[in-house]
Chains A and B, each alone.
Chain A
Amino acid sequence: MAWTWFHRLASPPHVYRLSARLTPWLAWPAALLIVAGLIGGLWLAPPDYQQGDGYRIIYVHAPSAWMSLFVYTTMAVAAGIGLIWRMKVAHAVAAASAPVGASFTFAALVTGSLWGKPMWGTYWQWDPRLTSELILLFLYLGYMGLRSAFDDVQRADRASAVLAVVGLVNVPIIHYSVVWWNSLHQAPSLMYLGKPTMPPSMYVPLLIMLVGFTLFYGAVLLVRLRGEVLSRERAASWIREAVRA
């Protein structure tokens, strides 16, 4: 079968060992890129002509917001794969992703409101980005709440997977409806930058940060994945070696 390579690749012991081996290859580049992005964003990038130095929050806010969506998508896709093909490793990926995504959604909310304060004069505005972010946080909390309500890992995996997939279908609808709602009430929206085009000295650090954050997610995911894979395996002989190692 053409699928055998795939199944071998997705077998728990293989995934466990591979994740252990890959983690440093993601973690160090992530650390490097984030430090580079920090230097670029905080020192090298010029102040914005409208927002001065206040715009520098973008270098943590935008990557966090990106993570919130990217992790949710990854989680839901993995959950869907686990649901359809009954693949434990895919469920483990979904389970490992949720807390990471939720925490970055939280960071995106806090940094967004800190950015909003000097611009709006208030920490909270019902602007579409922040509102969508808040709803996304609720989706994450619902997912994790449902997961923890089950004693049995298998059932938790499968039930929460249904929720994740339903959530993924809903995210664009929610986002669209929130934007639509916001356009009616003409509330101020979080303007990312004053100028329509950013000079490279501004956007290159942003790109570096985006990649750095994504790699960071990868590294954390791999560590968590090992834990999740272990808790889904029962008395298999490979565990003994893996745990000792």
Chain B
Amino acid sequence: MSEFCLKGENVHLWRGDHHVLRGVRFQVGAGECLQLTGANGTGKTTLLRTACGLAYPEGGEITWRGQNIREDMRAFHAQLAYLGHEPPLKSELTARENLHYWIGVRRRLEGRELDQALERVGGNQWADRPVRTLSAGQKRRAALAGLTLMRVPLWLLDEPTTNLDAEGQKLVGTLIDEHVQAGGVALAAVHHELAVSRPNGLRRMELTFD
């Protein structure tokens, strides 16, 4: 199989009468992180959802490792992690239970992996509390733990630093750093510049209304 590379060619998408994505082109390869910036409503989320195959572009195509993602959607999905606006957590379950069910659907968790991931995001204190009692930042951290647990080469992140304190924002930067260093690919929609310590491999793209 060819190298990790997510590529969008002339992607068009409408929402009703609104032409949201107007021939968007992008390319992120192994060891790269592409930051999507742009005002609200310029289609950052839509682009991410299109890139992961949830939304269907009416023009153009998206390829992963040189193959249109629609050709083998499941194999493509097995290689990507998508984090949306909301952390996909159930408020009645604890953070640990949430991760167990969320990640368990994708892959078998081994040994102390879950503990380590929670530790990594500073979750020792609250891992066993119901998510309902956690702050928005803690929920976001739990979601980041899930992200690292998926162990997939492609990350698609929608505003990963929302609700995070300075330290948490740094954590996002470090996680992306490590991911990219290991040869992974990241595509992130952001409002604020990511706190990435090794800026080589970091690229920016701005979406505008025209």
Residues of B within 8 A of A154 (CB): 14
Q: A151 to B17, alpha carbons, bound, how many Å?
A: 10
Q: Are B19 and A234 in contact (CB under 8 A)?
A: yes
* Contact size range, A: under 10
Q: Are B14 and A234 in contact (CB under 8 A)?
A: yes
Q: Does A152 sit at the interface, judged by CB under 8 A?
A: yes
Residues of B within 8 A of A153 (CB): 16
Residues of A within 8 A of B19 (CB): 234
Q: A36 to B145, alpha carbons, bound, how many Å?
A: 76
> Contact partner of A151 among B14, B16, B56, CB < 8 A?
B16
Instruction: State the majority secondary structure of interface residues on A.
Output: loop
Q: Does B74 sit at the interface, judged by CB under 8 A?
A: no
Q: Are B17 and A234 in contact (CB under 8 A)?
A: yes
Q: Which residue of B lies closest to A152 (CB)?
A: B16
Contact with A along B8-21 (1 / 0, CB 8 A): 00000011110100
Q: Are A152 and B56 in contact (CB under 8 A)?
A: no
Q: B55 CB to closest chain A CB, in angstroms?
A: 10
- Residues of A125-166 at the interface with B, using a CB-CB cut-off of 8 Å, are 151-154
Q: Are B56 and A86 in contact (CB under 8 A)?
A: yes
Residues of A within 8 A of B16 (CB): 151-153
Q: A69 CB to closest chain B CB, in angstroms?
A: 32
Q: A128 to B89, alpha carbons, bound, how many Å?
A: 50
Interface centre among B14, B16, B17, B56 (most CB of A within 10 A): B16
- 9 A-B pairs with least C-beta separation: A152-B16, A151-B16, A234-B14, A152-B15, A234-B17, A234-B19, A153-B16, A86-B56, A154-B14
Residues of B within 8 A of A151 (CB): 16
Residues of B within 8 A of A152 (CB): 15-16
Q: Which residue of B lies closest to A86 (CB)?
A: B56
- Other A-B contacts than A152-B15, A153-B16, 7 sampled, CB-CB below 8 A, are A86-B56, A151-B16, A152-B16, A154-B14, A234-B14, A234-B17, A234-B19
Q: A234 to B17, alpha carbons, bound, how many Å?
A: 7
Q: A86 to B57, alpha carbons, bound, how many Å?
A: 11
Q: A2 CB to closest chain B CB, in angstroms?
A: 20
Q: A97 CB to closest chain B CB, in angstroms?
A: 23
Q: A86 to B56, alpha carbons, bound, how many Å?
A: 10
Q: Which residue of B lies closest to A154 (CB)?
A: B14
Q: A70 CB to closest chain B CB, in angstroms?
A: 31
Residues of A within 8 A of B15 (CB): 152
Residues of A within 8 A of B14 (CB): 154, 234
Q: A154 to B14, alpha carbons, bound, how many Å?
A: 9
- Residues of B14-35 at the interface with A, using a CB-CB cut-off of 8 Å, are 14-17, 19
Residues of A within 8 A of B17 (CB): 234
Contact with A along B37-48 (1 / 0, CB 8 A): 000000000000
Q: A189 CB to closest chain B CB, in angstroms?
A: 48
- Residues of A176-227 at the interface with B, using a CB-CB cut-off of 8 Å, are none
- Residues of A46-86 at the interface with B, using a CB-CB cut-off of 8 Å, are 86
Q: A152 to B18, alpha carbons, bound, how many Å?
A: 10
Q: Which residue of A lies closest to B12 (CB)?
A: A234
Q: Which residue of B lies closest to A235 (CB)?
A: B19
Q: A206 CB to closest chain B CB, in angstroms?
A: 46
Q: A217 to B163, alpha carbons, bound, how many Å?
A: 57
Residues of B within 8 A of A86 (CB): 56
Contact with A along B47-66 (1 / 0, CB 8 A): 00000000010000000000
Q: A87 to B63, alpha carbons, bound, how many Å?
A: 22
Q: B163 CB to closest chain A CB, in angstroms?
A: 30
Q: A20 CB to closest chain B CB, in angstroms?
A: 24
Q: B21 CB to closest chain A CB, in angstroms?
A: 13
Q: A58 to B56, alpha carbons, bound, how many Å?
A: 48
Q: A154 to B55, alpha carbons, bound, how many Å?
A: 11
Q: A86 to B14, alpha carbons, bound, how many Å?
A: 15
Q: Which residue of B lies closest to A153 (CB)?
A: B16
Identify 9 residue pairs between A and B in the complex whose beta-carbon atoms are under 8 Å apart, listed by A's number: A86-B56, A151-B16, A152-B15, A152-B16, A153-B16, A154-B14, A234-B14, A234-B17, A234-B19
Q: Which residue of A lies closest to B15 (CB)?
A: A152
Residues of B within 8 A of A234 (CB): 14, 17, 19
